[in-house]
Copies of this chain bind each other. A is one copy, B any other.
Amino acid sequence: MEQITIKEVAKLCGVGVSTVSRAINNHPDINEETKQKVLETIQKYNYVPNNSARNLKRSDSNTIAVLIKGISNPFFSEIVQVFEREITKQKYSFVLQHVEEFEDEVDIAIQLEKEKRLKGIVFLGGLSYHTEKKLKQLTIPFVISTVDVTELGSEYASVTVDNTKESRKLVDYLCGCGHKRIALLAASQKDESIGKLRLTGYRQALEARGIPYDESLVMWTKENLPTYSMENGYALAKELLESGRDFTCIFAISDSVAIGACKALFDAGKRVPEDCSVAGFDGLGIAEFYQPSITTIRQPRMEMAEATIRLLFDMIEGRETAKRQVYDAELIIGQSVRTLE
């Protein structure tokens, strides 16, 4: 049961290694009969080619890697499935590479490009602006998907929504419902990514409505909890309630946070939306299934995922150069926001 190599298979069959190789890789120049014999003994002895050796030798490979940071993020799960479907549909193979929170996704991409002779890369999650110089080391096309990297400018390929605009749209809707004191459950104060953009949208909407920005209504994420988690929403809303501050509506940075906030309200004996309105962001399935359903901004995830792969292949095949592609999101009016008076 020990390590059996292509040489031993060749010896076992009484043929040369190249014949075995041809059999494995469906080469045309091989006699059907010998091919069968080789495949049989491969079966019999459970020979499995060593991928490292293959990758080392190959000069190209028709594989696309998807690097995902934050694999437990439910926002990503459907997207990954679309990636997989679209990539295999193009007869390419698909590698999903998980990136730890503390790892640098670009470093991993650079390694992987060499190791697997990649044709293209998709980044899902991660990728803040300070990775810019490293990106230059990638010699193959890549697309940054659903991460709003405004700082990177349009010289990199990306598919995203305009987080600032969509956040503004939602908050404007809340104001239109008569809400003037809207608490924000925000990301970290140091956030440079979507957390910052959604905050900006919030401020812009208030300003346009002539409502002063009240810092005491902004709750920054608990640093000891995952920012986009229900637990975080629960803790923040609880603290907000206990502070006795006055508000009629909560805008949470994501749907999960919104659901956590709802739970805190329920636990405090309040009703949603009768006593307090709640809105989220992203448009996850659970936002629709929650009771009450959550008013939110739905990012067109499927379309964005498809567009990501389309753009990537367009770049691979030279039909297109890197560009920033911005999608419109949709305001979903659920049952969690009440119109005042």
Taking beta carbons and an 8 Å cutoff, which residues of A are in contact with B?
A: 1-3, 46, 48, 50-53, 55-56, 71-72, 74, 77-78, 80-81, 84, 96, 98, 100, 110-111, 114-116, 136-137, 139, 230-231, 234, 259-260, 262-263, 266, 285-286, 288-291
Contact = CB atoms under 8 A, between A and B. Distances in A.
Contacts of A50: 56, 114-115
B84 A77 contact: no
B285 A231 contact: yes
Contacts of A78: 72
A114 B262 contact: no
A222 to B, nearest CB: 16
How many identical chains are in the complex?
A: 2
A80 B84 contact: no
A71 B83 CA distance: 14
A286 B285 contact: no
Contact of A56 (B46, B53, B84, B100): B53
Nearest to A55: B52
A1 B291 contact: no
A252 to B, nearest CB: 13
Contacts of A2: 139
Contacts of A259: 286, 289
Given A1-B139, A46-B110, A52-B114, 14 more contacts: A48-B114, A52-B55, A53-B56, A71-B71, A72-B80, A231-B285, A234-B289, A260-B289, A262-B291, A263-B288, A286-B286, A290-B290, A290-B291, A291-B291
Nearest to A234: B289
A3 B263 CA distance: 54
Q: Which of A51, A100, A136, A262 has the most CB of B within 10 A?
A: A51
A1 B137 contact: yes
Nearest to A112: B51
Contacts of A114: 3, 48, 50-52
Contacts of A46: 110, 137
B285 A230 contact: yes
A84 B48 CA distance: 28
A263 B48 CA distance: 49
A141 to B, nearest CB: 14
Contacts of A81: 72
Contacts of A289: 230, 234, 259-260, 262-263
A321 to B, nearest CB: 18
A52 B115 contact: yes
A338 to B, nearest CB: 16
A337 B96 CA distance: 41
B48 A52 contact: no
Q: Which of A1, A46, A266, A290 has the most CB of B within 10 A?
A: A290
A131 to B, nearest CB: 14
Contacts of A98: 96, 98
21 contacts: A1-B139, A48-B110, A48-B111, A50-B114, A50-B115, A51-B52, A51-B114, A52-B53, A56-B56, A71-B80, A71-B96, A72-B78, A98-B98, A230-B289, A231-B285, A234-B289, A259-B289, A262-B291, A263-B288, A290-B290, A291-B291
